[in-house]
Amino acid sequence: MLKTSGQAEEENLSLQAAKPEEQSDVHKPTLIAKYFLHGAAHTLLITGFVIIWVFLMVVLLIIASFLGLLLGLLVLVMGVGYVNSLLSGYFWKIQTPTKWSSLLVHGLMLIIALGLASIPFIILEYLAASLTPVFSIVALLVVFAIHSIVNGYLGKAVASTQRESDSSWTSAQLMTTYREKCPYCESAYVYKASAVRPDGTIKCFYCSHGFKVKVPIETQKQPDLMSSWRFTCSRCERDSRYERAEVFYGKVRCHHCNETFDVKGQGY
């Protein structure tokens, strides 16, 4: 008996669901490598930033004394947050707010997390320095690699807590009004942005025909968040929003890499 496309898809998902652990193990080396690259890149960029910041700090102290000190510290914290925001977007596709207040919180959280995590590594580096030159270099490289992986993990974790909202809508935007002329009945009337359907159309008040309107994307109607979820793929680490119909026995197929992954524990 021939299988329908729906039955074939269900069988495929069931077969892939039988080996969730094997799938996660395959991608662990790639995940660790990304954590290492994130952490190492953050360390190098922040080192360069701090060198420039020291000269800026000297100028601020000369010009404004205590106020300059305060301003310099704010710049440092925001810089740490901004660098991690860029790296999180590049490595993990995590978009974070770039307002100065958001960067300040982002940077402060990351500095605290990295500071606490650095304590054992400082001790290990001190112990490694007491070894013979060859063993000391090898030990320091190993400590740096592990430290970078931890920093990358923390950088991603902090960025996730600061993740930008899925929607930039405000009640004021949804109440914005537009004037449109129906192409069917030629009637002109004013409508609210909240009346625009997800496909960019509205229904004529007079003849009930639907037609396309030119409304900015950011003011179009918000998708129904009650019947959809945002999940992160376990393979490519990219986020997408999935409708209820796309979830099958707690699993979905990634919109980016087509990998099937488990969504339990991600708010579903």
pLDDT (tens digit per residue) in 135-147: 999 999 999 999 9
Scored b (16 or more CB within 10 A) or e, 219-233 reads bbbeeeeeebbebbb
* Global pTM value: 0.56
Predicted local distance difference test score (pLDDT) of residue 75: 94
Considering only CA atoms, which of 36, 69, 253, 9 is closest in space to residue 154? Answer: 36
Quick check: helix, strand or coil at residue 259?
coil
Q: Give the domain extent around 257.
A: 223-268
43 shares a domain with 144 = yes
pLDDT at 23: 39
Per-residue confidence (pLDDT) for residue 173, from 0 to 100: 52
- Residue 211 counted as domain residue: yes
d(CA 148, CA 143): 8
Residues of the chain with pLDDT under 50: 1-26, 165-172, 217-226
Tokens of 256: 């980016």
Per the structure, how many domains does the chain have?
A: 3
Backbone angles phi, psi at 85, to 5 degrees: -65, -45
Task: Output the CA angle 139-142-143, nearest 5 degrees.
Answer: 85
Asked whether residue 1 is domain-assigned, the answer is no
Supply the pLDDT for residue 15.
Answer: 41
Token digits of residue 133: 């030159």
